[in-house]
Amino acid sequence: MTVTSGMISDVRASLGLAGPVEQTRVVVAMSGGVDSSVAAGLVKAAGFDTVGITLQLYDHGAAVAKRGACCAGQDIHDARRVASDLGIPHYVLDFEDRFRETVIDDFADSYLRGETPVPCIRCNQTVKFADLLARARDLGASALVTGHYIESRALAGGRRGLYVPADVARDQSYFLFATTQDQADFLRFPLGSIAKAQTRALAVAMGLAVAEKPDSQDICFVPEGRYADLVLKLRPEAAQEGEIVHVDGRVVGRHAGVIHYTIGQRRGLGVDQGIEQAEPLYVIALEPERARVVVGPRAALRRHVLTLGEVNWLGDVPLDETPRPVMARIRSTRAPVAATVCRAGAGTVVDLAGGEEGVSPGQACVFYDGAGAGARLLGGGFIRV
């Protein structure tokens, strides 16, 4: 696959920027991975004044770093090399303190509250789409481009909307629900209309050294996925022992800290084997204020009504007290389901038509106007109860 004239036209159209292309500056967030590298290559090939920026988010030699994580040592080197190959200027910005305060500390505190956080959302919400976007504007950019798989389309009135990409299997809209309207107007996503396999092929055609680089896995700052180790290091008080209680009130075991459990967990509960053999048990709720883990049958996991906080709404008509039909997604790996959403007092309430299992505080509930490629992202919020 090569970058054809038709593809260049598509990139220019997707960015939708006025003025002469060669005089229009575009900043590309480069993580050192294949996606952001190809995004930078497409913007450069389309003739824009392209500038690459990489954020150093933590000390790559520290205990929280791991191989394959974004925005650490090797990845900064890879981003710099790609920028050199493309012939574009490249800058590395030290955002370690900001990342620690807004993402890592929030991650640890969220587990202390018995929640299951989604740090990638916080990172996009604060460091990437607030701080980095501000730097892009300081550089005179007309847009900030990232390698996310999501589409940006022009709306009536000059604003822009966000949509599920062509490659639904790579859809990252769940992690971008907190994008404000002003941010959405400035952001662009040239990979939204192509498949991941095409991205890889383009990386090869461009001669990028990262063409075969594996995608990062798990949470970038958690070594080997052992999130509890990181939380205990940052918040030693999280190692508070307590009781494991059945929903019927029986004490069925003990635990070494609620941070070792998540809603819907089936294995490694630490429950008396005789009880578990008689009835498959799942984590139903976490009560950190009482140092309790509540377990019960699978049926007890199903929830119909959720209360959300920190709601960001991108729909054309504001939310009010009238229930509005949407498609709602409560985890990034699940398909959206039919639901209604409305304001209720100071909060926002979601009613899931068929209910969902494993709903966990701290996760996001994200809204769409439909399902599948082309569905518009309407916003979302963090699940509270």
DSSP conformation letters of 15-56: HT--S-GGG-EEEEE--SSHHHHHHHHHHHHTT-EEEEEEEE
CB 245 within 8 A of CB 222: no
How far is residue 233 from each of residues 105, 118, 226, 230, measured CA to CA in Å? Answer: 11, 19, 11, 5
Report residue 384 CA to chain centroid gap: 18
CB 190 within 8 A of CB 42: yes
Element (H, E) at 161: strand 160-163
Element (H, E) at 107: helix 105-112
DSSP conformation letters of 357-375: SS--TTSEEEEESSSSTTP
> CB burial class (10 A; 0-12, 13-18, 19+) of residue 128?
buried
Q: Is 92 helix (H, G, I), strand (E, B) or coil?
A: strand
Single out the catalytic residue among 70, 120, 220, 365. Answer: 220
d(CA 91, CA 139) in angstroms, rounded, equals 11
Q: Is 226 helix (H, G, I), strand (E, B) or coil?
A: coil
Single out the catalytic residue among 120, 123, 342, 365. Answer: 123
Active site residue 220: yes
Active site residue 70: no
Q: Encoding tokens for residue 164? A: 């599920």
Residues known to be catalytic: 123, 220
